[in-house]
Amino acid sequence: MNYDSETCIGVLGGGQLGRMLALEARRMGFRVIKWTGGDVSGAARLADHILTQPFDCPDTLQRFIDQVDVATVEFENIPRELLEKVAAHVPLIPGTEAVSVCQNRELEKSFLADHGIPTAEFRIVDCAEGLAAALRDIAGDVILKTVESGYDGKGQMLVRSEPARASADQLWQDFGGGRAIVEQRIDLAAELSVMVARGQDGSTVTYDPAENEHRDHILDVSIVPARLPQALLDEARTIATRVTQALGYTGVIGVEFFLDQQGQLLVNEMAPRPHNSGHHTLDACECSQFEQQLRVICDLPLGSTRLIKPAVMWNLLGDLWPSETTAPDWTPVLKTPGAKLHLYGKSHAKPRRKMGHVTFMGDTIDEALERANACKRALGC
Ligand code: ATP
Ligand code: MG
């Protein structure tokens, strides 16, 4: 557990999570090399060195492993073969197995079911007949999701039970085939998530659960502390810790939950990395989720997860931009006390693209919410 500021951290992926990780790494004195696997949006900047070659380039693999002391992923959809190759040469945190489980909804849901952790009812299907059987088994509306490569609601299709559904053949064709999970649609009372960090020695810490509000399947705001009974929040922390331990996980992980109308917590999915609902930790917690990840990677003691101030995180999507290259006027945010603007350096705005976020802090959660809502209104949301 020696602090070595010469440590070079290798990051697989080129998005905003790696950017915020790199910002914290710089503050802590570490060097960062990113391998983005392709074109970069601008979010990859702030690394000492950026590799943009495809993930199957052997020369780049060699350069990456020659230069980095330890490697991590900033998003989970990194090919398994690459994770294995990297891990054969340098420590990879989190490890290949844990990332593989989280990048595939079939493995993920099966893992949860095997460990007795409650989830929405589901079936795995790979043909129209399978879909027809699943639709007979699961009552009410369902959501079809691709087993791989989904994020921000991509690769999902809602299938309502009323009015009468199209035939399974037609639905399967509309969905595009492949391999899918058919998931019972939960009548949500709330959504929440818990960030957990597990050190190399197996010790764990959790952050205060975030209450998450989505719009069109994309996270809109996270509210911390969540406005839910304490016993429920404690239960969410306990389940999230159980999931982390069962995975034998090392690093920071986000565990997403549905709360149904009966008050039951169901695990939706896990994100094997810092998570969008943990962005407030940069401004509102003693140790951010990104610093925490660096601490685990470098085998340093875990930091305090204490919330210093109630916070509301608002995601800034590209829809807010007047044009692809024109940003909104941030004056309302800049004039709001307790508001911190974070922009990810992406050169082009597109609808649904995450361009940045704002953390609104207040002395109470109501004050933070009032500030967030006033700014949202001022920016036309
Ligand atoms: P992300 O990676 O951004 O979390 P994702 O593509 O992995 O998104 P999910 O987390 O599965 O997608 O779904 C996104 C959102 O869609 C959920 O947070 C929830 O609001 C809604 N949703 C997904 N599945 C269900 C379900 N079974 N019942 C009710 N709502 C759901
Ligand atoms: Mg999700």
Does 190 contact ligand 1 (Cβ within 6 A)?
no
> pLDDT (tens digit, 9 = 90+) per residue, 244-263?
999 999 999 999 999 999 99
Angle between helices 80-87 and 58-67 (to 10 degrees): 40
Q: For the chain, which residues make up each domain, given as ranges?
A: 8-92, 121-184, 188-378
Residue for token pair 């109630």: 310
Q: State residue 107's pLDDT score.
A: 96
**Per-residue model confidence (pLDDT) at position 1:** 63
Whether ligand 1 lies within 6 angstroms of the CB of 188 is answered as: yes
Distance 66 CA to ligand 1 centre (A): 38
Q: What is the CATH number of domain 8-92?
A: 3.40.50.20
> pLDDT tens per residue, the chain (381 residues)?
678 888 999 999 999 999 999 999 999 999 999 999 997 788 888 999 999 999 999 999 999 999 999 999 999 889 999 999 999 999 999 999 999 999 999 999 999 999 999 999 999 999 999 999 999 999 999 999 999 877 777 789 999 987 677 789 999 999 998 999 999 999 999 999 999 999 999 999 999 999 999 998 899 999 999 999 999 999 999 999 999 999 999 999 999 999 999 999 999 999 999 999 999 999 999 999 999 999 999 999 999 999 999 999 999 999 999 999 999 999 999 999 999 999 999 999 999 999 999 999 999 999 999 999 999 999 999
Long-range contacts of 28-35 (CB under 8 A, 24+ apart): 28/291, 28/294, 29/5, 30/5, 30/294, 30/298, 31/6, 31/7, 32/8, 33/8, 33/9, 33/64, 33/67, 33/68, 34/10, 35/10, 35/11, 35/60, 35/64
**CA distance to 99, 219, 226, 305, per residue, from 213 (Å):** 25, 6, 11, 22
Domain 121-184, CATH: 3.30.1490.20
CA of 190 to the centre of ligand 2 (A): 13
Crossing angle for the helix pair 289-297 and 16-27, nearest 10 degrees? 70
Ligand 1 contacts CB of residue 183 (under 6 A): yes
CA angle 10, 11, 16 (to 5 degrees): 150
**Bridge-based pairing state of the strands 142-146 and 180-184:** antiparallel
Nearest ligand 1 atom, CA 187:
29
Supply the pTM of this predicted model: 0.96
Distance, CA of 160 to CA of 164 (rounded, Å): 8
What pairs with residue 208 in β-bridges? none
Q: Which fold has domain 188-378?
A: D-amino Acid Aminotransferase; Chain A, domain 1 (3.30.470)
Ligand 1 site, residue 13, Cβ cutoff 6 A: no
Ligand 1 center to 261 CA (angstroms): 17
Assess contact for 33 and 9: CB atoms under 8 A.
Answer: yes
268 lines ligand 1 (CB under 6 A): yes
**Residue length of the chain:** 381
